[in-house]
């Protein structure tokens, strides 16, 4: 039996087919995607928190072709720990149109980092998760140590964190020797707090921080950019030249309370075409080009 076409594989991976996206400028970039599997070639870490289905570079290519995206940033997902083999293999498959954000040990060998840099890695991710304030000094030292390690390569520090974690470390970030990228609206939850938006805007205004307008379903209870209008406006008013877009494909779900390391956890059925259309409807043509083309080109080096 012949294999299904890439478009069918993508629909299968996501559990849904995608609506058409908006008309995008040339060289539009998705700055936050993951690739997974197959597990027999790219085994997951023994201490992983969850077990994802396969989501392959060919699936990603099909989705981006459908949306009109031509540049990609692969972000190392947590089930692989600090083994970046799947990430690097994905970069080789996707070629010059792709860049990477790895997860490293703070004391990683410089030769290993140099090889990653040649492969297209441009940042290192630190996943602080929730409840960072319970171990504040350890989180701060991890940030400082990782920043020192990557500074010589001109990389940025990519932080996955919630609003409480940002409040615990935000004073440190502008003083680091590297730029900082805040994933997924910097953990802002508009229904739950107001301080995190003001804090994020202040960080953007330093010019040392960037924010990804990614994964609205993680930020707003309605799961849409339509629910984040005031947040989008405030972030763009602060520094539109520090905003990036990412789909967060393939949309891992679950929570620490429901995840199991040996039970495959389905991806969420997010319509990326509709999501991107809703974002574009809230941006001027100038801002759309900044967020999708100019800003990622400056940060990731195209």
**Rounded-to-integer distance, Cα 12 and Cα 53, Å:** 10
User: Helices marked H in the chain — which ranges?
Assistant: 6-14, 57-67, 85-94, 110-119, 136-150, 163-169, 195-205, 216-219, 229-239, 272-281, 285-289, 295-300
- What average pLDDT does range 281-297 have in this prediction? 97
Alpha-carbon Rg for the chain in angstroms: 18
pLDDT at 168 over 60: yes
Verdict on whether the full-model pTM lies above 0.85: yes
List pLDDT tens digits, range 103-123. Answer: 999 889 999 999 999 999 999
pLDDT of residue 15: 42
Render the burial of 197-225: b for 16+ CB within 10 Å, e for the rest: bebbbebbeeebbbbbbbbbbbbbeebbb
pLDDT at 189 over 90: no
Tell which wins on pLDDT, 263 or 18.
Answer: 263
Which residue from 245, 251, 274, 284 is spatially nearest to 28, judged by alpha carbons? Answer: 245
- What average pLDDT does range 76-88 have in this prediction? 96
pLDDT of residue 11: 52
Residues 279/213, Cβ–Cβ less than 8 Å? yes
**Rounded-to-integer distance, Cα 35 and Cα 130, Å:** 23
- What average pLDDT does range 181-193 have in this prediction? 86
pLDDT of residue 82: 95
pLDDT band for 3, please (50, 70, 90 cuts).
Answer: very low
**Rounded-to-integer distance, Cα 128 and Cα 110, Å:** 24
pLDDT at 221 over 80: no
Count the residues in the chain: 302
pLDDT of residue 134: 56
Domains and CATH numbers, the chain: 6-300 (3.20.20.140)
The mean predicted confidence, pLDDT, of the chain is: 90
pLDDT at 57 over 70: yes
């Amino acid at each position: 039996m012949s294999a299904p076409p890439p478009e069918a594989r993508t629909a299968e991976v996501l559990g849904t087919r995608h609506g058409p996206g908006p008309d995008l400028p040339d060289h539009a970039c998705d700055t936050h995607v993951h690739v997974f599997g197959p597990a027999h070639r790219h085994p997951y870490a023994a201490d992983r928190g969850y077990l994802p289905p396969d989501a392959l570079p060919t699936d990603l290519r099909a989705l981006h072709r459908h949306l009109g995206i031509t540049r990609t940033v692969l972000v190392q997902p947590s089930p692989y720990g600090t083994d970046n083999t799947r990430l690097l293999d994905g970069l080789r498959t996707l070629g010059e149109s792709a860049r990477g954000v790895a997860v490293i040990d703070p004391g990683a060998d410089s030769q290993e980092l140099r090889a990653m840099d040649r492969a297209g890695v441009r940042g290192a991710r630190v996943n602080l998760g929730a409840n960072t304030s319970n171990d504040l000094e350890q989180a701060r030292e991890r940030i400082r140590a990782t920043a020192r390690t990557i500074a010589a390569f001109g990389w940025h520090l990519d932080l996955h964190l919630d609003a409480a974690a940002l409040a615990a470390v935000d004073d440190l970030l502008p003083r680091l020797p590297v730029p900082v990228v805040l994933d997924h609206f910097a953990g802002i939850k508009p229904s739950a707090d107001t301080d995190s938006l003001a804090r994020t805007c202040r960080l953007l205004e330093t010019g040392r921080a960037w924010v990804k307008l990614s994964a609205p379903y993680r930020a707003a209870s309605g799961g849409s950019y339509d629910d984040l209008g005031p947040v989008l406006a405030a972030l763009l008013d602060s520094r539109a030249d520090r905003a990036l877009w990412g789909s967060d494909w393939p949309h891992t779900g679950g929570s620490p309370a429901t995840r199991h390391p040996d039970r495959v956890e389905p991806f969420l059925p997010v319509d990326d075409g509709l999501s991107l259309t809703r974002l574009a409807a809230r941006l001027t043509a100038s801002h759309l080009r900044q967020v999708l083309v100019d800003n990622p080109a400056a940060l990731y080096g195209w």
